Chain A
Amino acid sequence: MGVMFNRTPEGLLDFRRFGGTKFHRTAFAGATTGQQLLYALDEQVRRFEVEGLVHKHEMWEFLGLVRDSDGNCRGIVALDCVSMRIEAFPAMSVMLATGGPGIVFGRSTNSVINTGTAASAAYQEGARYANGEFIQVHPTSIPASDKLRLMSESARGEGGRVWVPRARGDKRAPKSIPESERWYFLEEKYPAYGNLVPRDIATREIFQVCLMGYGVGGKREVYLDLTHIPRKELDIKLGGILEIYEKFVGEDPREVPMKVFPGMHYSMGGLWVDYAADPRHGTLDETSPRNQATNVPGLYAAGEVDYLYHGANRLGANSLVACLYAGKIGGPAMVRDGRDRGARLPPGDGAFAGAKKKWEMEFARLARLSGPENPHVIAEEMGDWMTDNVTVIRHDGKLAETDAKLQELAERWDRIGLSDRSSFANREISFVNQLRNMLVLARVMTRGAGRAPARGVPRRALQGARPREGGHGRKRASARRRELPQNDDRRAHRGWPADHLCGGEHVADSAAPAEVLRDRASQRLTGKLPPACPERSASTSAARTLRPPPLTGRSTSCPTDRARTSSRS
C-alpha cells in the first residue's frame, strides 16, 4: 500500500522482536511503523476521494447516534467545529473508528484528541462497553505536564539500563553517582530478563520503586541510561526516538540518562463487538454481517474503540494488526448489513429531525452555562484521580473513593461556566461536551476495575477470599485463574478468548436498571471486599524488594496471595 518496510540484505521484509515475543515476527518501518501505516492509509483515502468513492467531512465532531423507535442506528449527529452547525447524517450502517480514551487519564501517550467521547456517547445511547478497566500502562514514557511521550521498548532492547540512586532523594547529577550507589532494580530482581522483563512487570516495578521514595529526586521518575553505549551506535539504531527526547526535554540522552516513568498507553477494552463463527470449521465466518457489530443494530466499531483481540494485555504491534483486520472484516459486514437489514427499514425522517433538535437544544444549553466551575480544572482532577488510582495498582478503597470523586466531578460539571461564548470555532463548548462523556467513561473504567475477581494486566491489591457469588462469566473467569498466575501476562494473554469475556457482568450495560448497577457497585466497592494488602500498600522495605524473586514474576504479591494461588492449583 506504500509503506516501505525495512529490508534484509536480500531485499526481503526484515522482522523485529517486540516485548513478550520470542520470535522475530514483526515487520517494521524505521522507528515509526504506526505513523508510516497511518500515512499510507491516509494517502489511499485521498485516492478514493479523487475517484469520488469517499466523501470526507473534516473538522466535524461526533455527538451522538440517531436511533429510530425500533432501536436501529440510522445515522449520526455531528458538529461542524468551525461553523458550530449541527447536522444529522443518515446512513444504513455506522462504523465508529474513533480510537482510544487516553485523555480520561489526563496525560497519556495518546493524542490529546483521544478523549473516548464517541465511545462514551454510544455507550450512553445503549451500546455495550466491555473490559473498560483493561488499560495498558507502558513502562517508559517521557513525563511532562502536557502529555506523556512514548520512549520505545527498543531503547532497552538495545541495552538501555533502568536505575535509581540508592539513596532516597539523591540530588547529585546522574553521571556523578558512582556505580556502587546506583540501584539497577530490574537487573537485581530479574537477573535472567534484566531490563527486558515484560511490559506490565517493568511498569509495576518502576511504579513501586517510586512509591517507596526512590524516584529520581523524590519525584516519579527513574533513569533509563544509554550513556554507556557508543554515540555512533545510538545514532544508527535509535536516532529517531533519541531525537524526540532531545527535542522535548532539551537534554542529550547520549550524554545524560533519560528520565522516564510509566504512562497510560492503550485501552484493551472498548465497545463490545460481535463476530460469527463458521459452523463448518469453527473459524471466523468472514461473510457474516455480525463481524465487528455492536449490540445496537447498524452500529459497528473497529480499532482501539472496540474491545476485541487483545484480551487483557496487548503485545507490541498487535493494535496495528487488529485495526487493519477489524476494518477488513468490518467493512464488508457493514455493506451486507446495510443491504440485508438496513434497506428494509422504513424511512426514519422523524428520528433525524428529533436527534438534530435534541443536540441543538443541548448545545444551546451548554452555551448558556455560567456557573463558577472551570471545565479545565475538572478535567485535571479527573485525570489525576484516574492516573493515581486506576492505572498500575488499584486498591479497592481507592477505587470506591475515585468512583465517589467522579460523581462529585459530574455534579460540579453541572455548574461549569464557559469563558468562550463565541458561536464560531468555539473549542471550549465541544470540550465541555466531551468532558461529560469522559466522566462517564471514567466511571465505567473505575467500576470495572472493582469487579471480582480482578482480571487482566493491572494488579488489584486484594487480600483474603473474593466473593464467591456470581454468574456464569465470573465462574469461568475464576476457573481460568486457577491455571493462570495472575501476574504472567504472556500466559494470561493466551488464555482469554473473547467469548469468555462477553458473558458476565463485566460488560457494562447502560440499559441495565440503575438500581442493579448501583447495588453491584456498592457491594463490590464498599462492604463486601476486604481491605487492601497492607504489605504492598505500605512502603515495603528495600531489603525485601531486593531479594531476587522466582522468575515467574510474582514478586510483588503478598504472601496471602501466593498461598491462595498455590492452594488452588
Chain B
Amino acid sequence: MEVAKDPKTRDGRRTSPVVYDRACLEEVCGSCAMRVNGVARMACTALIDSLAQPVKLEPLAKFPVVRDLSVDRSSMFESLKRVKAWVPIDGTYDLGPGPRMAESERAYAYELSKCITCGNCLEVCPQVNDRSSFMGAAPISQVALFNRHPTGRMLAAERLDALMGEGGLDECGNAQNCVRACPKSIPLTTSIAEMFRATTAHGFRKLFGS
C-alpha cells in the first residue's frame, strides 16, 4: 500500500503502480498467487522481513499474463467444469436431511475442501506446459473430494471418465512438486494416487461391462 502511494522506478523516477490481484489477504480467495524470489506462493503470506532483499516478483508463468503480476487463471476453472466438481442437486423441492456421514470421513474431506484454486500446484508442475493439456493437481484432488461425498458420488463415473480423457490423470509425471507448493497443505499426491487406483478399477469395469 505504501508502494502504491508513491510508485517509483529503481532510479527514482515516478511510474504507474504495479497491477496485481488480491482480495482477502488471508489465503482464502487464491487470487494473489505469484512467484516471490522465484518461489510460487501466495503473496499475502509472504512476510517481507523473512524474504531475501531485494524481493523479486514475477507473475505465474503457466497462465496468460493480463498485466504486470495479474494473470488469467480461468483455465483452472474450465478444468473444474470438465471434471464436474460439484454435488448434483435438484433443489426444486425439499429433499429432507442428507445422508449420515462418519466424522472421520468428513475430517479427511475437509482437508481436500481447503483448495483455494490459487494455481501454485500448476505453476510448479513440469507436466503443465505449452505442449500439454494437463489439468494439474488441483482439479484431480477435487474429483477425490466429490467422489467421497455421499451425494457427489452419483457422478463418480463421469468424473473418472473426465480424468481418463485428454489432459487428465495420464499426463501426471509424478514429480510431486504440487504437494510441496500447496499453501493449504492439501495431500495432493495422495489424491492423485487414489484417483489412479479408482480410474484403473473404473477402466476394468468399463472394459468388462460390469
Contact = CB atoms under 8 A, between A and B. Distances in A.
Contacts of A8: 103
Nearest to A48: B86
A111 B29 contact: yes
Contacts of A29: 110, 113
A420 B16 contact: yes
Nearest to A14: B103
A113 B110 CA distance: 27
Given A46-B77, A149-B26, A247 B5 contact: no
B110 A30 contact: yes
B50 A419 contact: no
A374 interface: yes
A250 interface: yes
A511 interface: no
Interface in B53-90: 66-67, 70, 74, 77, 80-81, 84-89
B102 A2 contact: no
B74 to A, nearest CB: 8
Nearest to B77: A46
A367 B131 CA distance: 41
Contact of A39 (B4, B15, B70, B113): B113
B45 A247 contact: yes
B47 interface: yes
A2 B86 CA distance: 7
Nearest to A149: B26
Nearest to A144: B25
Contact of B109 (A1, A4, A82, A425): A4
Interface string A327-340: 00000000000000
B25 A376 contact: no
Given A149-B25, A425-B70, A5 B106 contact: yes
Contacts of B77: 46
Given A11-B102, A44-B86, A248 B47 contact: yes
B16 A244 contact: no
A376 B1 contact: yes
A422 B22 CA distance: 20
B17 A4 contact: no
Nearest to B22: A112
A49 B100 contact: no
A7 B101 contact: yes
Contact of A47 (B14, B88, B100): B88
B207 interface: no
Nearest to B7: A419
A61 interface: no
Interface residues of A, number: 51
Given A11-B100, A145-B1, A425 B113 contact: no
A147 interface: yes
Interface string A239-257: 0000010011010000000
B27 interface: yes
Interface centre among B24, B81, B152 (most CB of A within 10 A): B24
A266 to B, nearest CB: 15
Nearest to B25: A147
Contacts of A4: 101, 106, 109-110, 113, 149
Nearest to A422: B16
Interface string A420-435: 1110110110000000
Interface centre among B14, B19, B80 (most CB of A within 10 A): B19
Interface residues of B, number: 50
Interface in A31-68: 32, 35-36, 39-40, 43-44, 46-47, 49-50, 58
B134 interface: no
A111 B84 CA distance: 28
A10 B91 CA distance: 26
- Report whether over half of chain A's contact residues are helix, strand or loop; otherwise say mixed: loop
A371 to B, nearest CB: 15
A347 interface: no
A14 B110 CA distance: 15
Contacts of A428: 16-17
Contacts of B86: 2, 43-44, 46-47
A10 B100 CA distance: 8
A348 to B, nearest CB: 32
Contacts of A39: 113
B89 A9 contact: no
Nearest to B15: A419
Contact of A425 (B19, B28, B146, B149): B19
A248 B24 CA distance: 13
A128 to B, nearest CB: 28
A7 B26 contact: no
A173 interface: no
B89 A49 contact: no
A146 interface: yes
A427 B17 contact: yes
A516 interface: no
A29 B107 CA distance: 9
A8 B100 CA distance: 10
Contacts of A424: 67
A377 interface: yes
Interface in B90-118: 91, 97, 100-103, 106, 109-110, 113-114
A46 B87 contact: no
A514 interface: no
A479 interface: no
A522 B151 CA distance: 60
A5 B113 CA distance: 11
Given A46-B77, A419-B17, A6 B4 contact: no
Contacts of B84: 47, 50
Interface in A247-280: 247-248, 250
B101 A82 contact: no
Contact of A427 (B19, B28, B85, B114): B19
7 contacts: A1-B89, A1-B91, A8-B103, A35-B28, A112-B22, A250-B50, A425-B19
Interface of B: 1, 4-7, 14-17, 19, 22-29, 45, 47, 49-50, 66-67, 70, 74, 77, 80-81, 84-89, 91, 97, 100-103, 106, 109-110, 113-114, 146, 149, 151-152
For the complex of A and B, the 8 pairs showing the least CB-CB separation, nearest first, are: A11-B100, A2-B87, A420-B16, A43-B86, A425-B67, A7-B103, A376-B5, A111-B23
